[in-house]
A and B are shown apart, each in its own frame.
Chain A
Amino acid sequence: METRTHISVQDLSVYFDELRVLTDISIDIPDHKITVIIGPSGCGKTTLLKSLNRLLDPLDGVRVGGRVLVDGIDIYDPRTEVTEVRKKMGLLSQRPQVLPMSIYDNVAYGPRIHNHIDKKRLGEIVEHYLHMAGLWEEVKDRLGEPASRLSVGQQQRLCLARGLAVGPEIILGDEPTSALDPQSSQNVERRLIELKEEYTVIVVTHILRQAKRIADYIAFLYLGELVEHGPAAEVFANPKNPRTRAYLTGEIS
């Protein structure tokens, strides 16, 4: 099995003012797999995810210790261009956040920023990624309409297409189905499973059943510490740490 990794987290600690939210996290995220970060709410799952593309930067009073290597480059090195780091990752947030523009312009936003592209090529890119997100058939006749008119489930898939259009290697999902109805959730889960052929996927969730459905690799966070991580089948069948066992059996939540 290939052991190359895009993302390597080394001794990562994150503080909000004096409060330590993450403590000495070290983990290598396996390529072309779905890594699911599980844990009770408030355990630092989202913070860990956001630390991977430096979205913690704009928040106030945040201090980060340790290193996050993406393709061998420390993203917290001041010389690292933050826009280049973020370009490598597409993000799905808890509630889909479409941009205040048309469906077409949402997908074209990233490509327009990063490259100078002619109109015809841009149209092809938009169509390609809308196909990939499984949204093309539903929106092909109304690309000029405001993105906010789509249903929430469609918006989340639009956000996926928008993220993919930037050309990332990694997809980050922060409880990406929590605002969606069961059918849309299933749809998004299916997309993620398809996408791991080409992308490395990291998803945060507090829904254990979802983790079991999609995870290849599991990381269990508890109170800001990485308690256990390993292949999903192993962790679910035979957790090594008593706290993991307690969480999986529902004793702590």
Chain B
Amino acid sequence: MSHPSSLHWLRRRKLKEGIFRVLMAASVLVVIGCLALIMGTIIWKGLPAMNLSMITQTPKGGYYLGREGGILNAIVGSLYLASGATVLAILFSLPVVLYINVYAQKRSRLASLTRFSLDVLWGIPSIVYGAFGFIIMIFFGLRSSLLAGILAVGLLEFPIMSRAADEVIRMVPNELLEASYSLGATRLETALKVVVRQCLPGLLTAVLIAFGRGIGDAASVLFTAGFTDRIPTSLFQPAATLPLAIFFQLGTPFPEVQQRAYASAAILTVLILVISLLARGLGKRYTRHIIK
């Protein structure tokens, strides 16, 4: 190649590099901008309605017309519901992902069928889980209740948690499993003592992602958990949730109630943030043994 043309080539390569850099910077800006815009809107619109009684009181009579009270019912309801659903999802997710990664052979048909099913389940809209839960409720003669909500949201969380956990556990090197087997450990001992330990931070993230989806979902609880102004005292009572509280408050014609919807949204966001930070801090204590 002659000298001038190679110089031309170099200039083209530099140009490509430059264009790509600008694109990346722009994308990052969009991501951060979106987050800032959403947070800003919620806080800007919700701040005037934010006060202590929002998070310490249940709705008083005429709350949805702009009178006294708060959304403690929805905060507690959401926490109950998402916690229950997350525990339920862990109980099913962990055995599934340990099975397809430790027990099943790498090329097993059952394992790939399981992964495919989880992907499909992940893609199902949450309103369908709500409708499905509703059918089951009718079948068993259940009414809208915390229990029914937990079942529907648990079902929604299960594929999300499983797939996220699967991606983490897949990364465990085969040699690590062999080290455990060669000491005479069974598959179960290897799964629980080595794999779960090695993957703990990743598994925690999987649980958090699922929890976040569960606590923020409105459609799956619409028919199943119902809505109430009281804090549920048993699994068979209906439960209020923050997403539905936001939905109902936004639907009123009163501006001050609509403001409260934004305040509720801010509470929901902060709640997820606090739980994430807590879990991460907790997880840090268990990461020191991990093999990199």
Q: Tell me which of B174, B184, B197, B198 contacts A166 (CB under 8 A).
A: B184
Which residues from A are CB-within-8-Å of B189?
113
At the interface, yes or no: A89 with Cβ under 8 Å from chain B? Answer: yes
Q: Tell me which of B174, B176, B184 contacts A114 (CB under 8 A).
A: B184
Beyond A61-B107, A147-B289, whether A100 also contacts B198 by CB under 8 A is: yes
Let me know if B175 and A100 touch, CB within 8 A.
no
Among A79-87, A223-231, A232-240, which stretch is in contact with chain B?
A: A79-87
Q: Tell me which of B184, B193, B198, B292 contacts A87 (CB under 8 A).
A: B184
At the interface, yes or no: B185 with Cβ under 8 Å from chain A? Answer: yes
Q: Tell me which of B105, B108, B194 contacts A99 (CB under 8 A).
A: B194
At the interface, yes or no: A243 with Cβ under 8 Å from chain B? Answer: no
Which residues from A are CB-within-8-Å of B289?
100-102, 146-148
Which residues from B are CB-within-8-Å of A55?
178, 181-182
1/0 per residue A175-195: CB within 8 Å of B? 000000000000000000000
CA A208 – CA B215 in complex, angstroms? 63
Residue of A nearest to B108 (CB): A60
At the interface, yes or no: B186 with Cβ under 8 Å from chain A? Answer: yes
Among A27-35, A90-98, A116-124, A129-137, which stretch is in contact with chain B?
A: A90-98
Number of B residues whose C-beta is below 8 Å from A? 28
Number of A residues whose C-beta is below 8 Å from B? 32
1/0 per residue B196-221: CB within 8 Å of A? 01100000000000000000000000
At the interface, yes or no: A75 with Cβ under 8 Å from chain B? Answer: no
Nearest Cβ distance between residue A62 and chain B, in whole angstroms?
Answer: 10
CA A162 – CA B183 in complex, angstroms? 8
Which residues from A are CB-within-8-Å of B178?
55, 58, 91, 93, 97
Which residues from B are CB-within-8-Å of A148?
289-292
Which residues from B are CB-within-8-Å of A61?
107
Let me know if B197 and A100 touch, CB within 8 A.
yes
CA A98 – CA B180 in complex, angstroms? 9
Name A13-46 residues within 8 Å CB distance of B.
Answer: none
Let me know if A163 and B176 touch, CB within 8 A.
no
Residue of A nearest to B179 (CB): A97
Let me know if B107 and A100 touch, CB within 8 A.
no
Nearest Cβ distance between residue A228 and chain B, in whole angstroms?
Answer: 28
Which residues from B are CB-within-8-Å of A98?
179, 291
CA A148 – CA B198 in complex, angstroms? 12
Let me know if A110 and B183 touch, CB within 8 A.
yes
Let me know if A146 and B177 touch, CB within 8 A.
no
CA A109 – CA B186 in complex, angstroms? 12
Q: List 25 A-B contacts (CB under 8 A).
A: A55-B178, A58-B105, A58-B181, A60-B105, A86-B184, A87-B183, A91-B178, A91-B182, A93-B175, A93-B179, A95-B175, A97-B176, A97-B291, A98-B179, A100-B197, A100-B198, A109-B180, A109-B183, A110-B184, A110-B185, A113-B183, A113-B185, A147-B289, A162-B183, A166-B184
Q: A interface vs B, CB < 8 Å?
A: 53, 55, 58, 60-61, 83-84, 86-87, 89-91, 93, 95, 97-102, 109-110, 113-114, 146-148, 159, 162-163, 166, 172
Q: B interface vs A, CB < 8 Å?
A: 105-108, 173-186, 189, 193-194, 197-198, 288-292
